[in-house]
């Protein structure tokens, strides 16, 4: 029997073959370490204002110095520190909103796929209605109802992500439930709940894991969008989207305020998408070369 | 008498609720303790639907619309889902045709058999269950039984997987084993081994077997009693010797004649077939 350690090693070996996925993985690892070690990595407190040092350029530009590597914003806060702390918030947004979408998407998709008939029709029509409204618009509506706040934004993004998960779970449950091992397990006396949770779902994990990774990226992007519109994180929270919104009026005079948070968002979204693509290749048993 | 099926009727309905197909029509038969009954018939004759109806596993839009299935005197059609669950796996077990898809690819084979024991033999603890699983592997002639406990299904050959399925079915020593074409997907030598194994287990444990097949060679090897099905109806029922020596129903005769016999087939002559233009239901049923 292969032990757990060997499995992970084997997995990494497969994953390494895909260069772009590996780059994505590095980005994600850097992001996670930023989030975990933010207090040690960031040179300054992200919230402390120092009005004497406002709008300092990054170190390579005129007027910049190594005291503030990426410069400061209009309140004299260190940009690098804010971006490092922003990783925490972005990861939190990703984890919480993906968990919300995953939880409800799993329940809805699994029951629609497994029970079929009227249950399927009702659930999938709700999903269709949700999908027919543009995601960001739906998120704006939900946040307007709940009130502008970072946590409410996560809930909104979570709800927006439900239909995608529900569809993916339903499709894989539909494919699995016809297989004979499901009937075999029923014949052995398994209940419906047991059949769904222990027999069918473990065989549907591949598309769900991939979608969770991709969903993570879009959650980060949508949260940045909501914060940019003033519906997510509120100042002075160092959220990347909110930082973009703050910097709009300085776009001609202090480009660094808009460029670096933008790059941070871009790299995060790209990193998670690349990892998602890589996982899809590795986890698909048909792609395995043995 | 272990199982008594009386006038069983299973029908499928279309969207507006009209009968689309009568898959099992007024079927009656009996299975005695320790005996093997074979159901033979061509594809679509209702063999598998009969077994699913007995287990109460007919899926929408199909329904059992009439008859009785008496298992030790209890009508299975009148049981609720909970009591059916305790009968399935424990008193009645089933083996399938396709050993490739009938095991869950996500779990080890040992775990999957362990699961059946966990559901139905609550008095056993973890080590006793593992012991029992390994004993079952030995019983079904699995090579290296202790090592196979932790194998995933994709590592086993077709014959080994079918042995796992049989071990799983035998885990709770069921009174009735329904085998739905268990050897069709296996090659001839493995088929012979699996059939022999089933005969052996029957002799050891006294299990009754309902064997579904379209292979008359298998019938000759396995059956005590044979039921011939045609378009959802039982057309002939007889003991195995009677049926092969003295088939009475024209459909049975046609079926037996369609087997090419070595030395009996003339050069350049056509093989006998079952004539599709005859409706064999027009002939009286031959039930002995």
Enumerate the domain spans of chain B: 3-88+223-287
Contact A187 B105 (CB under 8 A): no
Instruction: Tell me if chain B has a CB within 8 Å of the CB of A51.
Output: no
- What integer pLDDT is reported at residue A3 of this predicted model? 60
For residues B189 and B183, give the distance between their C-alpha atoms in angstroms, rounded to a whole number: 10
Asked whether A108 and A127 are in contact (CB, 8 A), the reply is: yes
Per-residue pLDDT tens listing for chain A (290 residues)? 456 677 788 788 888 888 889 999 999 999 999 999 999 988 888 888 888 888 888 888 887 788 888 888 888 899 999 999 999 999 999 999 999 999 999 999 999 999 988 999 999 999 999 999 998 899 999 999 998 889 999 999 999 999 999 999 999 999 988 888 888 888 888 888 988 988 899 888 888 999 999 999 999 999 999 999 989 888 888 999 999 988 888 888 888 889 999 999 999 999 999 999 888 888 765 554 43
Instruction: Tell me if chain B has a CB within 8 Å of the CB of A2.
Output: no
Give the nearest partner residue to A1 out of B98, B106, B150, using CB atoms.
B150
Residues from chain B contacting residue A191 (CB–CB below 8 Å): 85
- What integer pLDDT is reported at residue A153 of this predicted model? 92
- What integer pLDDT is reported at residue A152 of this predicted model? 92
- What integer pLDDT is reported at residue A268 of this predicted model? 94
Phi, psi of B230 (to 5 degrees): -145, 120
Which of B54, B104, B178 would best serve as a mutation to test chain A binding (most A beta carbons within 10 A)?
A: B104
**Chain B residue nearest residue A188, CA to CA:** B89
Instruction: Tell me if chain B has a CB within 8 Å of the CB of A187.
Output: yes
In this prediction the ipTM stands at 0.73
Phi, psi of B67 (to 5 degrees): 95, -175
Task: List all residues 6 or more positions away from A80 whose beta carbon is below 8 Å from its beta carbon.
Answer: A42, A43, A68, A69, A70, A260
What domains does chain A contain, in order, with CATH numbers?
A: 19-285 (1.10.3720.10)
Contact B101 A190 (CB under 8 A): no
Give the nearest partner residue to B88 out of A1, A181, A187, using CB atoms.
A187
- What integer pLDDT is reported at residue B189 of this predicted model? 84
Residues from chain A contacting residue B76 (CB–CB below 8 Å): none
B3-88+223-287 — its CATH code? 3.40.50.300
**Chain A residue nearest residue B120, CA to CA:** A189
- What integer pLDDT is reported at residue A12 of this predicted model? 83
The token pair at B211 is 């064997």
Per-residue pLDDT tens listing for chain B (288 residues)? 889 998 999 999 888 888 888 888 888 888 998 899 999 988 888 888 898 888 888 887 888 888 889 988 888 888 888 888 888 888 898 888 877 788 888 888 999 999 888 888 888 888 999 999 998 898 888 888 888 888 888 888 888 888 898 888 888 888 999 998 888 877 888 888 888 888 888 888 889 999 998 888 888 888 999 999 988 888 889 999 988 888 888 888 888 888 877 777 777 777 777 777 788 888 888 776
- What integer pLDDT is reported at residue A286 of this predicted model? 55
Contact B102 A187 (CB under 8 A): no
- What integer pLDDT is reported at residue A50 of this predicted model? 84
Give the nearest partner residue to A199 out of B89, B97, B104, using CB atoms.
B104
Residues from chain A contacting residue B55 (CB–CB below 8 Å): 187
Task: Work out the number of other CB atoms within 10 angstroms of the CB of residue A25.
Answer: 20
The token pair at A107 is 């329940």
Task: Work out the number of other CB atoms within 10 angstroms of the CB of residue B123.
Answer: 5
Which of B49, B59, B81, B85 would best serve as a mutation to test chain A binding (most A beta carbons within 10 A)?
A: B85
**Shortest CA gap A161–chain B (Å):** 27
Task: Output DSSP code: residue A54.
Answer: T
- What integer pLDDT is reported at residue A128 of this predicted model? 95
Instruction: Tell me if chain B has a CB within 8 Å of the CB of A20.
Output: no
Contact A116 B60 (CB under 8 A): yes
Residues from chain A contacting residue B150 (CB–CB below 8 Å): 1
The token pair at A271 is 């990193």
User: What is the pTM for the complete model shown?
Assistant: 0.78
Give the nearest partner residue to A184 out of B96, B106, B150, using CB atoms.
B96
- Alpha helices in chain A, H assignment, sequence order: 4-16, 19-36, 38-41, 79-115, 117-132, 135-146, 150-177, 180-187, 192-194, 205-228, 240-247, 256-283
The token pair at A259 is 């460029």
Give the nearest partner residue to A188 out of B98, B106, B119, using CB atoms.
B119
């Amino acid at each position: 029997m292969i032990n757990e350690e060997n499995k992970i090693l084997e997995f990494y070996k497969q994953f390494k073959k895909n260069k772009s996925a590996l780059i994505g993985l590095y980005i994600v690892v850097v992001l996670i370490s930023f989030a975990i070690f933010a207090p040690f990595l960031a040179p300054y407190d992200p919230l402390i204002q120092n009005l004497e040092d406002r709008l300092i350029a990054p170190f390579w530009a005129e007027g910049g110095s190594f005291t503030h590597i990426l410069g400061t914003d209009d309140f004299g806060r260190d940009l690098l520190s804010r971006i490092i702390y922003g990783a925490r918030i972005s990861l939190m947004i990703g984890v919480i909103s993906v968990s919300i979408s995953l939880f409800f998407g799993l329940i809805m998709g699994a029951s629609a796929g497994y029970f079929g008939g009227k249950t399927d029709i009702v659930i999938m029509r709700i999903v269709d209605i949700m999908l027919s409204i543009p995601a960001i618009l739906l998120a704006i509506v939900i946040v307007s109802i709940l009130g502008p706040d970072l946590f409410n934004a996560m809930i909104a993004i979570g709800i927006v992500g439900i239909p995608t998960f529900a569809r993916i779970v339903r499709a894989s449950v539909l494919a699995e439930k016809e297989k004979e091992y499901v009937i075999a397990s029923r014949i052995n006396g398994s209940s419906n709940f047991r059949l769904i949770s222990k027999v069918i779902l473990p065989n549907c994990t591949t598309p769900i894991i991939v979608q969770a990774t991709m969903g993570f990226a879009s959650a980060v992007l949508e949260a940045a969008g909501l914060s940019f519109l003033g519906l997510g994180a509120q100042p002075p929270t160092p959220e990347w989207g909110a930082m973009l919104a703050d910097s709009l009026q300085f776009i001609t005079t202090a480009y660094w305020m808009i460029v670096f948070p933008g790059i941070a968002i871009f790299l995060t979204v790209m990193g998670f998408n690349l990892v998602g693509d890589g996982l899809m290749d590795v986890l698909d048993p048909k792609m395995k070369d043995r | 008498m272990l199982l008594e099926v009386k006038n069983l009727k299973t029908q499928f309905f279309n969207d507006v609720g009209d009968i689309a197909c009568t898959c099992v029509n007024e079927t009656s038969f009996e299975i005695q303790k320790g005996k093997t009954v074979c159901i033979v018939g061509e594809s679509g004759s209702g063999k598998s639907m009969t077994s699913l109806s007995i287990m109460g596993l007919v899926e929408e839009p199909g329904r059992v619309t009439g008859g009785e299935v008496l298992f030790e005197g209890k009508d299975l059609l009148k049981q609720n889902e909970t009591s059916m669950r305790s009968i399935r796996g424990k008193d009645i077990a089933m083996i399938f045709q396709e050993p490739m898809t009938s095991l869950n690819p996500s779990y080890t084979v040992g775990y999957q058999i362990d699961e059946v024991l966990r559901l139905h033999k609550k008095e056993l603890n973890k080590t006793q269950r593992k012991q029992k699983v390994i004993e079952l592997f030995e019983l079904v002639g699995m090579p290296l039984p202790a090592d196979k406990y932790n194998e995933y299904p994709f590592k086993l050959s077709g014959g080994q997987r079918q042995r796992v399925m049989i071990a799983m079915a035998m885990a709770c020593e069921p009174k009735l084993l329904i085998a739905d074409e268990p050897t069709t997907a296996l090659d001839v030598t493995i088929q012979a081994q699996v059939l022999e194994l089933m005969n052996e287990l029957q002799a050891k444990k006294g299990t009754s077997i309902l064997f579904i097949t379209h292979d008359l060679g298998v019938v000759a090897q396995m059956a005590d009693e044979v039921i011939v099905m045609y378009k959802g109806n039982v057309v002939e029922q007889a003991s195995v010797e009677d049926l092969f020596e003295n088939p009475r129903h024209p459909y049975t005769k046609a079926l037996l004649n369609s087997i090419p016999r070595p030395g009996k087939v003339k050069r350049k002559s056509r093989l006998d077939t079952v004539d599709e233009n005859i409706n064999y239901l027009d002939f009286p049923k031959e039930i002995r």
